[in-house]
Chains A and B, each alone.
Chain A
């Protein structure tokens, strides 16, 4: 009876980065959602954005009041929707889930961190695209009305959240601090939403989510705007998944670097002790071992 040794598989870390690349640096498989899912959503996002741009710039007619400037509104409300409601809403929900003891897990902390960073990008784009629309429409790049000011404040608050994440601390402590900070910052979101109803402001009122649930946009303009919402949502989901993978990898690299460093120090200590004994035994030089002190 012959026995065969089980095949030894190389460690995952030693594998090539891709097929046919033996000299490429080793990589690990990114954690989180499956690559096919991430890739599919990415492709869908690119396609829908392409259609939105095509419809928005070349197919839809100019508005009777705003003329061609209405084309900027196929981008501005969808970007604001992602920042305010999707990204910061998800960050607040994930922070709540982390703070609640039954669901406490670093998964929620990482999800909130990913959502906030992507949300900050979209929030900044909301301000930029709004300013580009406001300059020819209102005659000013910026005005301190309630909607604009509260949106700018939201950006500052969540930039503070990102800064807080960079403060060195134990992961649990950092997660708790950031969860509280995200909830505090999220208080500004309903203020942004209702600011056009609560105060007299230059910014126009709701066009899509009206109190009477009736659309104020019609025809091809409405469909283009809705496609813009779908496109930006897909972009957000793709970015959120990739950013979550980055967050997990960051934590993993930090932990493993610490373990490797400790192992190296221990190995150095063992080597040193062995060499020390040998030197003492053979050379008898007491000045080498500290015995001459």
Chain B
């Protein structure tokens, strides 16, 4: 293949086939990543709440972002954590005012 427009032809084939190849690879990678996320996010059977927490890397509620930290804490964290717990048990949204020693 010779001629004045060889550079344009090579560029056209390279760009076209290269972009299609890269897009195809990105599709396969996206599918694989989402299939793994779907497997991790599948609901566990009841009674295995701790197990479900193992997949919390795919969950928008990360560990330690809620009042769950209060459950395993010693007394000072429990005071802070109980505020959230009281909020959960009361108004039901877990966002109630803190009931702690600073009041």
Contacts and interface: CB of A to CB of B under 8 A. Distances in A.
A124 B30 CA distance: 21
Interface string A226-261: 000000000100110011011001101100110111
B34 A249 contact: yes
A277 B33 CA distance: 42
Interface string B74-103: 000011011111101110001000010101
A249 B35 contact: yes
A214 interface: no
Contact of A68 (B1, B13, B20, B38): B1
A280 B13 CA distance: 75
A57 B23 CA distance: 23
A75 B12 CA distance: 8
A125 interface: yes
Contact of B42 (A25, A28, A128): A28
A72 B12 contact: yes
Name, among B4, B41, B60, B79, the residue most crowded by chain A CB atoms within 10 Å (CB to CB).
Answer: B41
A264 B28 contact: no
Interface in A22-52: 25-30, 49
A58 interface: yes
Contacts of A252: 38
A264 B59 contact: yes
Contact of B31 (A12, A242, A260, A273): A242
Interface in A108-126: 121, 124-125
Interface of B: 1-6, 8-9, 11-13, 15-17, 19-20, 23-24, 27-28, 30-32, 34-43, 49, 52-53, 55-56, 58-61, 66-68, 70-71, 78-79, 81-86, 88-90, 94, 99, 101, 103
28 contacts: A13-B39, A25-B40, A26-B36, A26-B40, A27-B32, A30-B31, A57-B1, A68-B3, A68-B4, A68-B5, A68-B6, A69-B8, A72-B9, A121-B20, A125-B19, A125-B20, A132-B15, A253-B41, A260-B43, A264-B49, A264-B53, A264-B61, A265-B66, A268-B71, A272-B84, A273-B85, A276-B85, A290-B86
